[in-house]
Structure 1
Amino acid sequence: MSMLAGATLVASTLLGAGPASAARPPQAPAIPVAGLADPPAEFGTDWHDPLTAAPPVTHPTGKSCEVTVAEAQFRDFTPYKGTYAPPRGCGDRWSKVVLRLDGKVQGRQYDRLGYLHIGGVEVLRTSTPQPSPDGIEWSVEKDVTRYGDTFREGHDVEMLIGNVVDDTYTGIIDVKVTLTFYPAEKPAATKTATKTVAKAAAAPDHVLTLQDGTLTTPRNSERIVAEVYATGSGGGCEEYWYLTVPDAAPYSCKAGDGPYREVQIEVDGKLAGIAAPFPTVWTGGWSNPFLWYVIPGPRAFDIKPVEYDLTPFAGLLNDGRPHRIDVSVVGVPEGQSGWSTPVNVLVWQDAKSTRVTGKLTAHRAGDLTNSSTYTSGSEHRLDTGAGHRLTVAGYVDTSHGRVTTTVDRELAATSVHRWTDGESTDALKGTWTDDEKVTVDGHGPAVTTRTDRTYTMDGATTLGAGDRLRTVLSLGDRASVVETRGGRRTAWSRLDDSYAGDATYTANVPRDQRHAVGTTSERYRLYGSDGCYDRRLVTVQGTLTGVRDSC
């Protein structure tokens, strides 16, 4: 909708990769100098194919096997349905599995959301770029090693990128999705082989989905992690949840308690985890598609799930019975749709025990604070501040002794939303933080992993003289991860993915009369104890004008 109308572990954590991912940040992909050109005076009928500054997925050397999972053209809301069979000749244990989506679309089309399920497990959630009249192509790669348990057997496949094709919106979305498998090295009597085997074993033993809203775990589960692909979308106000206002304020998108959103997970009615949703901006966002034609906003093409360590509840979940798992989004008015929250559950088992018992030993949920103050005037203003804290702890008695897991998570959000009558000026400055500390204390020194996430948005859209619509916007996706063992730092990493854009066009006229101009840039930095990655891209009028690598 229009806004105006309404450590190995450390590196893989920041990149959203599975537990068995490569240790070092990958090298920046080469972009030929011929790919850089002088920009035109304004946007034309074609522009550079979409790309991001994010690092590519690293591919191991040696033998690999490729399987096509889906190949479809999406022109409506009919899902593609097919079957998946494991690769032949690559074994059933892999050092890495890489998913690749290749897409193309031509003509006129909105941004669209999509998913891919294999055996009911969501392995990809994505959105699409908006096409040029002449057509574009793009690709997305994702490390999906963590879903190896799913890939070992044949399954049904379902994929959907909901789309509308008619006389106005002509773009048919054509995609192909493949999986590339890299066999795990055979163990040998060397230290190197031991490390390889240990790394491969870090992938979960099982990937489970909910059955009628319930979860039944193996009785020897010793670590349990839920992941939720939470997205606010569907073309309604929840697509712009960060801009919603209380019912009393005069704005096109209302939500009873204002813009605060929090994704919660419950086990048998007991709060088990809290998380801040990422404020994703899709490629039609902020009323200005010219911001996103080449460089999408962070995470737009590869939507990361929010994760919850449910290990403190393992003693309860391991009784062999189904347990109710509920996911909800705080702040959404009752009965209002607009959020999708599919759940996968990753389980690691104790290979030397048939039954792992345990107990939840601590559960402290702070009061959820959420205050929005509306100030009227020639410029309306809404100031919002909110936050929540949850601590849970529990132990499991395993074959290697008692292991206690403590999860402490604290959320905070502040935003200032300003707009004028008619919303001809609409501006937001917001910051969301999600700080998490997980301590695992068992045999040997306690290991603590602290992850501090910060999401930022600062932008304004103005409709001025001659119906010239201008949007200036910056977005930030930042995270810091530190791992300590016995109080000593063993690994660390920092991520800073920053986007900035400034685009103007004439609204309410045919496409060929928009006279659009725009400059966009993205800088993606990932550095720490395992190395450095740093790339910056710049575009002008849809032309790639700058590529800089600083590592």
Structure 2
Amino acid sequence: MASLTTSSCLIFLLALLPPLAAVAVPRRHRFLPLQLAPVNASEPPTTFLEVDRPIQPPRGSVGPCSALLLSDSFGYTYGRPPATASYVPPECLAAARARGGSLALAVLEWSADCRGRQFDRIFGVWLSGAELLRSCTAEPRPNGIHWSVSRDVTRYAALLSEPGEVAVYLGNIVDSTYTGVYHANLTLHLYFHPTTPSPPPPPHSDLVLPISRSLPLNDGQWFAIQNSTDAQSKKLAIPSNTYRAVLEVFVSFHSNDEDWFTHPPNEYIEANKLSSNIGNGAFREVIVKVNEDIVGAVWPFTVIYTGGVNPLFWRPITGIGSFNLPTYDIDITPFLGKLLDGKEHEFGFGVTNALDVWFIDANLHLWLDHKSGKTTGGIVSYDTSTSANVDSEFSGLDGRFMSSASRHVSATGWVESSHGKVMTTFYQRFSYKNSNVYSKNGSEQVVNQTIDVKSGVFTTNGAVLHSEEVVHQVFPLYLFSGTSDEVGDEYSLVSAVKLGINEKRVSGGEQGFSYSSLRNAQSARGSMRVKGNLVTSGYGENHQVYKYLGTHGCYFRDVSSKNYTIIFDHSDDSCLKGSRDKDSRLPSR
């Protein structure tokens, strides 16, 4: 069973490090949530939000048809079974199909409130074992908070059309100090294409197979990766008429690895006799295998949970991805020739340099040939390579550590079905750079990191390009943390964070051409006065700019907050003529 889940999400009662006079670096406390001042009981609850573009129903669709899937309260739930409810497909889903319509959009909405004092907690939502949402809770205050998360779950249409079981695990502890109980509703909203004109064939898969742990459990259905040598896997067989397969991977990092990007190498830890729970360097890689083949990797976006760095940064604007953690797609179609024998095959995960603990599972999306009972395939080429390097220079608690890494995965294979003999190529190219600098006897730390990911899928039918999708993502991160004014067990902590997602995406094929460009940048800074493990005063401010431009519209939002208050909020979803700029250029292959 995984260890206790807070937003570190597992750091609930971390043992305190030695006093600053003995060891100045690094501070890994989970601070008791700050209450800046007495709160008027009549003051309304604070609404928290993660900035993202709204989910818009397709033009001409009808709905929503909404169904409450689960309503529950999460008090002392750590180490206990998930909350569950039977899932019955909404009647409107069958009715729409009977009229000749089809599903246009499915949205899963999590809506919750909490009052009192509580750490942030990681939670997951599963349907019939397939994870639909991974998220972190907001940290409450005495007058209460409210937040909601919406995720497009249209790609799970095959699951939504069959009876099953909904499971939600939110490991929480309630006692005399931590009083917050999370009250949550989980709702499904469905929109439909009308019967005429006929919509294009749905792009979603015919079958979704979960690669997760099965109930009953006293934990989430995710696998818990405990260290760098731990590997978790599940065996399953796929239908013999499969012609396309995509792995959707859920990843989150906690406890000693919540801030893995700040970790120094082990030689620095050993030389200064520091705790080993902050070691293994600042590079992490999730390896995804099918049998013994590395079919892809995940170099995850650096999500900072709602209690991370300085909790006041994220009140009420939360960190990018904290309410709706990103997932990562790996197209394994080139490997289908090895999987169509009707036998069980092993799908597994590991994390390079990992410390306790990483939660990982996946959904296997399969497209089936309904005109044939058997497809055949073979792999044409396969290549993977990796490199990693760390340059260290330090004296005592001060030092500079430069880490770099790269990874390349590519595979080409063919599948013959009623669609003909289709050749598929999938590739990933990763690069990573991290600069980690300690100064002033280790009391200040500066991290500069960039993760660059390029991936692509190309299919050809004979000599004709059938479809193409290329994605280029860059994850920049800057973090400053410094301690000062130390008097006994009391000190000041000043910190600043800049993080973001820059993404360019282009696709083309039978469904037409589309592109999108996203620049999502967040900048936060603040300070705290800490006594022991309690924050006695402080402030935090957060500024975020979200710019999205794509084939089907655009969205802009510029918003800023400070200590629970929105300072300004400007948004615009209109697309003006001539608004395309250099951000909309197509990504390179």
Shorter-chain TM range is 0.7 to 0.9
CA distance in 1, matches of 2:92, 2:468: 40
Structure 2 contact 389–403 (Cα < 8 Å) conserved:
yes
97, 101, 107: which one aligns with 2:106: 97
Contact kept, 8 Å, 1:43 with 1:516, in 2: the verdict is: no
Question: In the alignment, what sits opposite 1:450?
Answer: 470
Counterpart CA distance in 2 for 1:536 and 1:48 is: 20
Task: Give the aligned partner of residue 56 of structure 1.
Answer: 54
Match of 2:296 in 1: 273
Alpha carbons of structure 1 residues 123 and 448: separation in structure 2 relative to 1, 3 Å: same
For the Cα contact (< 8 Å) 2:125–2:166, is it kept in 1? yes
Matches within 5 A, 1:394-433: 394-420=413-439, 423-433=442-452
For residues 53 and 44 of structure 1, the distance between their equivalents in structure 2, rounded to whole angstroms, comes to 28
1:238-291 Cα distance to aligned partner (Å, 9 max, x none) = 1111122222113546576422111111111111112211111101111x1001
Please give the alpha-carbon distance, in whole angstroms, between the structure 2 residues aligned to 1:54 and 1:127. 16
Deviation at 1:125, TM superposition (A): 0.6
Alignment partner of 2:500: what SS? Answer: strand
Counterpart of 1:206, as a letter, is L
Counterpart Cα distance in 2 of 1:253 and 1:71: 41
Mind listing any 5+ residue stretches in structure 2 that lack a counterpart?
1-10, 15-25, 30-35, 213-232, 575-589
Partner of residue 214, structure 1: 235
More relative contact order in 1 or in 2 (CA 8 Å, sep 6+)?
1
Structure 1, unaligned runs of 5 or more? 7-41
1:319 is the counterpart of 2:328: no
Using the size of structure 1 for normalisation, the TM-score is 0.85
After superposition, residues 114-129 of structure 1 pair within 5 angstroms as 114-129=123-138
Query: Which residue identity lines up with residue 545 of structure 2 in the other structure?
Result: R
CA distance in 1, matches of 2:514, 2:529: 50
Q: Tell me the alpha carbon deviations over residues 275-312 of structure 1, each in whole angstroms, 9 at most, x when there is no partner.
A: 211111101111x1001121111110011211100000
Specify the alignment match of 1:535 in structure 2.
557
- Sequence identity percentage: 25
Report whether the alignment pairs 1:205 with 2:202: no
Please list the CA deviations of residues 338-372 of structure 1 after superposition, one character each: whole Å capped at 9, or x if unmatched: 01111110011122221110101111111333434
1:441 to 2:469 alignment: no
Q: Deviations over 1:120-165 (max 9, x none)?
A: 1111111011112211000000110111111112212211111111
Quote how far apart the aligned CAs of 1:544 are. 0.6
Aligned equivalents of 2:425, 2:401: Cα separation in 1: 37
Corresponding letter in the other structure for 1:268:
N
Q: Does 1:478 align with 2:502?
A: yes
Residues 204 and 337 of structure 1: is their aligned pair in 2 closer, same or farther, counting only changes over 3 Å?
A: same
- Match for 2:85 among 69, 82, 88? 82
2-structure distance, mates of 1:510, 1:441: 59
Task: Determine the structure 2 residue equivalent to 1:350.
Answer: 369
Task: Look up the SS of the partner of 1:249 in the other structure.
Answer: helix
Q: Aligned equivalents of 2:154 and 2:509: distance in 1? A: 26
Aligned-pair CA distance for 1:319: 1.6
Q: Is the 8 A contact 2:46 2:144 kept in 1?
A: no
Task: Tell me which moved more, 305-314 or 375-384.
Answer: 375-384
**2:568 counterpart of 1:546:** yes
* Contact 2:337/2:376 (8 A) holds in 1: yes
CA distance, structure 2, for counterparts of residue 4 and residue 307 of structure 1:
35
- Asked if 1 retains the 8 angstrom alpha-carbon contact of 2:493 and 2:527, the reply is yes
Cα 1:383–1:376 change in 2 (3 A) is farther
Is 2:350 aligned against 1:328?
yes
2-side partners of 1:204 and 1:127: how far apart? 28
Range with greater deviation from structure 2 (221-230 or 517-526): 517-526
Pair 1:150 & 2:169 matched: no
C-alpha distance in 1, partners of 2:278/2:387? 17
Aligned residue pair count: 499
Structure 1 residue 427: Cα displacement? 2.2
Q: Is the 8 A contact 2:243 2:415 kept in 1?
A: yes
Change (3 A) 1:179 1:422: farther
Q: Is the 8 A contact 1:247 1:254 kept in 2?
A: no
Task: Give the secondary-structure state (helix, strand or coil) at the position aligned to 2:47.
Answer: coil
Equivalent runs, 1:154-173 vs 2, <5 Å: 154-173=163-182
Taking structure 2 as the reference length, the TM-score comes to 0.80
The residue type equivalent to 1:380 in the other structure is: G
How far is 1:65 from its partner? 2.4
Give SS of 1:90's match: helix
Q: Which moved further from structure 2: 142-151 or 444-453? A: 444-453
Equivalent residues in 2 for 1:164-243, closer than 5 Å: 164-186=173-195, 188=196, 192-193=197-198, 196-198=199-201, 201-210=202-211, 213-233=234-254, 236-243=255-262
